Amino acid sequence: MSGAKNNATSPSFLSDKSAKVFVAGHRGLVGSAIVRKLHALGFTSLVLRTHAELDLTCQADVESFFAAEKPQFLILAAAKVGGIHANNTYPADFIAVNLQIQTNVIDAAYRFGVKKLLFLGSSCIYPKFAPQPIPENALLTGPLEPTNEWYAIAKIAGIKMCQAYRIQYSWDAISGMPTNLYGPHDNFHPENSHVLPALMRRFHEAKVKGAEEVVVWGTGSPLREFLHVDDLADGVVFMMDSYSGLEHVNVGSGKEVTIKELAELVKEVVGFEGRLVWDSTKPDGTPRKLMDSSKLAGLGWTPKISLKDGLVDTYSWYLENVKQ
Ligand SMILES: NC(=O)C1=CN([C@@H]2O[C@H](COP(=O)(O)OP(=O)(O)OC[C@H]3O[C@@H](n4cnc5c(N)ncnc54)[C@H](OP(=O)(O)O)[C@@H]3O)[C@@H](O)[C@H]2O)C=CC1
Ligand SMILES: C[C@H]1O[C@H](OP(=O)(O)OP(=O)(O)OC[C@H]2O[C@@H](n3cnc4c(=O)[nH]c(N)nc43)[C@H](O)[C@@H]2O)[C@@H](O)[C@@H](O)C1=O
């Protein structure tokens, strides 16, 4: 990353709590956590639009929105998101919708005077067999995991778009790469969600029905790193205030578990007492994707919420908000 004009900076994010901040995707897992965090910090002028109010895949509508609202800061948490099955089943949606949203939003944000933008990618941008823990510079060093390469290609394009606008226009666009996330407002869809909310719902429903077994996908051997979304929101605000660089930044917990260990933990938190049955016809995906988050730690940020505490918090949210 040498030789680039990458020193664009903007005024401190936290110094003006009345600044207009557009949180795109504010009803999702990540966007809602960022809104909670910004409200707790005293931000008074958040700009929020649901998907129904503003379809970010529509360039003309995005332009009209920016022309009218002129936000000063932008956190891009709107995207087409899903677990391994959804990624594998709807590749056209994952590449097209994500390219459309991020291209429209990043370009309009620059042209309509946003001072700083943070783009959210994902740990799936890295090669399937990247060195572990995965450093930022492992990007584009090997083939991607096939189950999510369409989504990953879109996310890589988003990182590169932020870099290109920083280099050509000295514009303060940064990218954060979160690991697998979970928490309140997650998607608990039985097939299209990520593993943690999928298992929480399946164990809960099995407990209520008195079922003897629950099916879990794959072999149980893949390793995953999980971060509570409130930690991510804290990290995003930290980056908005403290990071202005060309390279994307990993945001992880630094702790990994096998899917089998995760399943046992979710089972315990939910209180399901039956057996686990492994469906090895379902894909395992990447064998391991622990990120090296030492760059963010070196800047002064570390996560706080343990997986066990985060699961208890998420299950209590699920009981109050989702279960029938
Ligand atoms: N969940 C995870 O484990 C991880 C997520 N990330 C990244 O974090 C970001 C947020 O993900 P997450 O919160 O989990 O996703 P969610 O699916 O929970 O939320 C996505 C949000 O995007 C909005 N949205 C989707 N399509 C459009 C559209 N065409 N126009 C306007 N808004 C739209 C949705 O709006 P509405 O609610 O109104 O429909 C929703 O608020 C994404 O960039 C994702 O890649 C990265 C790593 C892991
Ligand atoms: C965040 C990340 O999320 C996706 O990648 P992933 O990490 O593979 O995500 P996942 O949560 O869906 O699965 C994790 C593991 O868990 C196993 N597994 C068991 N039982 C269930 C189950 O019931 N549902 C799901 N979804 N998985 C299950 C599953 O077989 C796999 O081995 C990317 O597509 C991409 O979107 C991305 O960036």
Structure tokens at 10: 């903007």
Angle at 199 between CA 196 and CA 200, to 5 degrees: 85
Residue 259 covered by a domain: no
| pLDDT value of position 2 | 38
State which of 29, 84, 122 you would mutate to test the pocket of ligand 2, scoring each by most atoms of that ligand within 8 A of its C-beta: 84
**How close is the Cα of 83 to the center of ligand 2, in Å?**
5
Active site amino acids: 151
Q: Which ligand is nearest to the CA of 148?
A: 2
Atom of ligand 2 minimally distant from the CA of 86:
34
Closest by Cα among 127, 135, 236, 133 to 181: 236
Q: What is the pLDDT along the chain (324 residues), one digit of tens a residue?
A: 433 445 677 778 999 999 999 999 999 999 999 999 999 999 999 999 999 999 999 999 999 999 999 999 999 999 999 999 999 999 999 999 999 999 999 999 999 999 999 999 999 999 999 999 999 999 999 999 999 999 999 999 999 999 999 999 999 999 999 999 999 999 999 999 999 999 999 999 999 999 999 999 999 999 999 999 999 999 999 999 999 999 999 999 999 999 999 999 999 999 999 999 999 999 999 999 999 999 999 999 999 999 999 999 999 999 999 976
Closest by Cα among 16, 255, 193, 207 to 116: 16
State whether the beta carbon of 86 lies less than 6 angstroms from ligand 1. Answer: no
State whether the beta carbon of 224 lies less than 6 angstroms from ligand 2. Answer: yes
Residue 175 covered by a domain: yes
Contacts of 177 (CB under 8 A, 6+ apart): 120, 121, 122, 123, 125, 136, 159, 248, 249, 250, 251, 291
Angle at 149 between CA 147 and CA 153, to 5 degrees: 160
Residue 208 covered by a domain: no
| pLDDT value of position 7 | 62
Give the other-Cβ count within 10 Å of 231's Cβ: 22
Q: Which ligand is nearest to the CA of 228?
A: 1
| pLDDT value of position 323 | 77
Structure tokens at 310: 């985060």
How are beta strands 213-217 and 275-279 bridged, if at all? parallel
Count of domains for the chain: 1
**Strand ranges for the chain from DSSP E:** 21-24, 46-47, 73-76, 116-120, 172-178, 180-182, 213-217, 223-228, 249-251, 256-258, 275-279
| pLDDT, tens digit, 9 for 90 and up, residues 10-44 | 778 999 999 999 999 999 999 999 999 999 999 99
Residue 7 covered by a domain: no
**How close is the Cα of 79 to the center of ligand 1, in Å?**
4
Give the Å distances, CA to CA, from 117 to 22, 29, 44, 148, 283.
9, 19, 18, 25, 35
d(Cα 37, Cα 25) in Å, to the nearest integer? 15
End-to-end CA distance of the chain: 51
The answer to whether 257 and 307 have CB atoms below 8 angstroms apart is: yes
Atom of ligand 1 minimally distant from the CA of 194:
3
**How close is the Cα of 199 to the center of ligand 1, in Å?**
20
| pLDDT value of position 3 | 38
Q: Is 284 exposed, middle or buried (0-12, 13-18, 19+ CB in 10 A)?
A: middle
Residue 213 covered by a domain: no
Residue 271 covered by a domain: no
Residue 215 covered by a domain: no
Closest by Cα among 11, 101, 95 to 51: 101
Looking up residue 159, the CATH number of its domain turns out to be: 3.40.50.720
Residue 80 covered by a domain: yes
Structure tokens at 34: 């960022």
Residue nearest to atom 48 of ligand 1 (CA): 180
Could you list the residue range(s) of the whole structural domain that residue 238 is in?
19-185+227-254+290-305
Structure tokens at 141: 């060093």
Atom of ligand 2 minimally distant from the CA of 181:
1
d(Cα 267, Cα 318) in Å, to the nearest integer? 14
Q: pTM higher than 0.80, yes or no?
A: yes
d(Cα 105, Cα 69) in Å, to the nearest integer? 13
